[in-house]
Structure 1
Amino acid sequence: MTGPESEGPQVRRAVCPGSFDPITNGHLDIISRASRLYDEVYVAVMINKSKKGLFEIDERIDLIRQVTAEYGNVRVEAFHGLLVDFCKQREIPAIVKGLRAVSDFDYELQMAQMNNGLSGVETLFVPTNPTYSFLSSSLVKEVATWGGDVSHLVPPLVLEALGERLRQG
């Protein structure tokens, strides 16, 4: 047999990109939903050398791997440069992004159109669970820095790492 039938079933891949500094329950909601829709989901942890994160890239990757291990089909990798290049290298045709509010849509639509124009990669927008519609890593860090309770906003493992990091100063 020749042709597509002989190649076996096609693996459906998607990527959830972000800085994940730290990963929140809102991020996990989007990743878990993507993991039910796709055979393989890559979590692409963005490296931004001009910005100092609270957690180093390797720490973020480790935390994400631990909190997504139960899904079984999530891979976590760092990337820098264009997301579409990351997608091309791994044959990923879809980017999955969570939208919290209308304000997210304007920016994300421009990015989606640019990514599609550059490489044909599609972007799927997933509405965020209303429980997490206000949530961002920046907000979690700010509240935690001032001693606020963020235990309902991040997985327990991340809460522990966040507390340790903030105690270190």
Structure 2
Amino acid sequence: MWTVNNTRIEVVQGDITKEHVDAIVNAANSRLAGGGGVDGAIHRAGGPAIMAECRKLGGCDTGDAKITTGGDLPAKYVIHAVGPVYHGGGKGEAELLASCYRRSLEVAAENGLKSIAFSAISCGVYGYPIPEAARIAMSAVKGFVGSYTQVELVRFVLFSEDVLQIFKHVANDIL
């Protein structure tokens, strides 16, 4: 665990759909239509209420985030963040990925939320290299919580041991 400006930052292995936090962040597609990976798992575990609210939102731009109910999840809300597809790093992917983390934290703060859990956005089928994505994630979170103290807990919930170790290593360097 790390602390930045009174915000606890944790990196754990687990299933984000089981997290008891105010909001979990879904690595969503721009249509907010569910899909594979963590996106599909969140929609399946959360039930139809999440999709019903997603349909009303009219999609979401890459780098942005929107909030819905948590449905049947332990988390009260789902923040849907649309990460970039990785095309080699020369198409603004780093800024878009950082924006996902910042916008998710802004949405959480705007809604008075105190705890948020992230997965590794864009690291699955979107192909972002995990070490670089972890650096971007940690830097974005550190920058946000260094200025805003509403969010008391930021937890990275990572499915695999390999990704967990990379995120922990990067957190030790950056936080």
For the superposition of Structure 1 and Structure 2, which TM-score range results when normalised by the shorter chain? 0.3 to 0.5
TM-score between both structures, scaled by the size of structure 2 = 0.37
TM-score between both structures, scaled by the size of structure 1 = 0.38
- From the two aligned structures, give the one with the greater helix fraction: 1
**Greater relative contact order (Cα 8 A, min sep 6): structure 1 or 2?**
2
